[in-house]
Amino acid sequence: MAQRRILHDEFFKKAKAEGYLARSAYKLKEIQERHRILRSGMKVVDLGCAPGSWLQVASEIVGPKGLVIGIDLQEVRPGLAENVHTIVGDIFKTDAAALLLDPDAKFNAVISDMAPSTTGHGDDAISVRLCRRVLELLPAMLAPGGSCVMKVLEGGGYPELLKDCQRLFAKAKGLKPKASRDLSREIFIVAEGYKAPAATPAAKLAKPAPKPGPGWGS
């Protein structure tokens, strides 16, 4: 007999009592307790931030001198702290630069609790694609030495995704917090020490000057 999914478990009740928008707040809290990826004064971006519980936790940790930016397809309800700013958008269509209030100051951490709308067919592959989009955005968003935390559904694509994270960061490992449901396939990749790619030399970015044509002078 299949195990019945328990919706109103201890973390659901705890979130309601402590004012968090969802039980997922305790997943980030445990990751923080184990790895200390967030610190006071940091700039953090939350990709796929609805309903907003990770924004709340990140806001508490970075404090008033820090900044938390969130983006999601859904609008996050108002009432978050002053150091939190959210926009409605699609991470596959939004330029990473649009999330940086200061182009010269990248984020210290990228966090993501995104998940596909589950259908039971190919959910893990879609989840891996969401994570790979996060990785695609890192060069434009994440400062050298920064951290990344993202949720993925375990499946065929997970091992290779983890290996890619281990190449991009000084260390990366999978972690399943206690607040994750027992039946859930979700796991969080916690990556620290981002090895930012070297900037492309200006000479390579410059386009060759066009050859003079009629009317260009002598």
Q: Which has the closest alpha carbon to 15: 5, 7, 26?
A: 26
Residue 212 lies in a domain: no
Looking at residue 97, its pLDDT comes to 82
Q: What's the longest Cα–Cα distance across the chain?
A: 87
* Rounded CA separation 189/172 (Å): 7
Domain-embedded: residue 206 = no
In a domain, 205, yes or no: no
Structure tokens at 122: 């190919």
Q: Could you tell me the pLDDT band of residue 143, with boundaries at 50, 70 and 90?
A: very high
Could you confirm whether 151 is annotated as catalytic? yes
Residue 1 pLDDT greater than 70, yes or no: no
Burial, 72: exposed, middle or buried (Cβ in 10 Å; 0-12, 13-18, 19+)? buried
Residue 117's pLDDT band, with cuts at 50, 70 and 90, is confident
Structural domain includes residue 97: yes
Tens digit of pLDDT for each residue in 174-192?
999 887 877 778 999 999 9
* 45-61 confidence digits (pLDDT tens): 999 999 999 999 999 99
Predicted pLDDT of residue 15: 63
Counting the structural domains of the chain, the total is: 1
**CA distance readout (Å), 144 to 106, 139, 198:** 9, 9, 10
Q: Does residue 4 sit within a domain?
A: no
Mean of all residue pLDDT scores within the chain: 84
Q: Is residue 207 a part of any domain in this protein?
A: no
Query: In the structure, what pLDDT confidence band is assigned to residue 206 with cuts at 50, 70 and 90?
Result: very low
Residue 142, domain CATH: 3.40.50.150
**What pTM was computed for the model?**
0.83
Which position among 13, 93, 151, 173 bears the catalytic label? 151
Q: DSSP letter for 215, please.
A: T
Tokens matching residue 41? 């004064």
Look up the domain containing 178 and give its range.
10-196
Q: For residues 41 and 177, which has the higher predicted lDDT (pLDDT)?
A: 41
Alpha helices (H) in the chain, listed in sequence order:
10-18, 25-35, 53-62, 123-141, 158-168, 202-205
